[in-house]
Amino acid sequence: MTAELDPRIERSRRVIAEAALEEMAEVGYGAMTVEGIAKRAGVSKATIYRHWAGKLEIVESALEMVKATMTFDEAAPPRERLTQLLRSLADYVGDDANVGASCLPSMVSAARYYPAVRDFLHRFSASRRKVLIDMVIEGQAVGDIDSSLEPELAAELLVGPIFYRRLMTGSSFPAADIDRVVDAVLGPPPA
C-alpha cells in the first residue's frame, strides 16, 4: 500500500518542477541551476534537496508530470487510442505556451554534452515509444492495423513529423492533421 503525499508537498513539488521547466526554457539546461529554480519557485534550495538530488532529477519529475497529461480513451479501439495520443502530443508540443515543449531543444542539446541527460532522454523516449508500439501491436492483433508493419518503425514514423516540425522548422504540426499521418503510416482504417 502506498501512502498518499501530503497535498502541500504535492503542490510544492509541482511548483518546483514547473519552475525547473521555466528556468530551462529561459536559460537552457547547462546554465540552469538549483539556485535559479529555487528562486523562481519561491522556495529554498534546502526544500528542493529534500525531494531531489539535483537539476536532472527535477527535470525528470517535471517531464513525468507532463507525460501524465497526455491522455486517451482507454476503452477506444487501439488505432483510435493511438490517434488520440498523437493528437494530444501534437497539441502539447506545438503550443509555445507549454513550457515543457519549449524545453525540447534544450534537452536535445544537453543530451549531446551531458551523458546523464542523454541516458534519461533515451529512457524517457523509449517508455513513450513503447506505449505506441504496444498500441500498434494490439491494433494488429485485432485487425485494426496492417499486420505486415514493423511496430517500432511505425511508432517512430508516427511521432517523427511532430518533433521534426517543432525542432527543425518555424511551425508546429497541427493536431488536426494527425489522422493523415496515421493513415499514411498505418494505411487506411479497415472498412
Length of the chain in terms of residues written: 191
Q: Residue 190 — pLDDT band, cuts 50, 70, 90? A: confident
- One-letter amino acid at 92 equals Y
138, with CB counted inside 10 A (0-12, 13-18, 19+), is middle
Q: What is the pLDDT of residue 1?
A: 46
* Threshold 0.75, pTM exceeds: yes
C-alpha cell at 96: 509555445
Q: What is the pLDDT of residue 4?
A: 66
List helix spans (H) across the chain: 7-27, 34-41, 45-51, 55-68, 78-94, 99-102, 104-113, 115-141, 151-168, 178-186
pLDDT higher at 37 or 5: 37
How many angstroms separate the CA atoms of 134 and 142, rounded? 12
pLDDT digits (tens, 9 = 90+) for 104-155: 888 999 999 999 999 999 999 999 899 999 999 999 999 999 999 999 999 9
| Separation in Å, CA 115 to CA 94, 112, 118, 119, 121 | 27, 7, 5, 6, 10
pLDDT digits (tens, 9 = 90+) for 7-27: 888 888 899 999 999 999 899
pLDDT digits (tens, 9 = 90+) for 152-183: 999 999 999 999 998 898 788 999 999 999 99
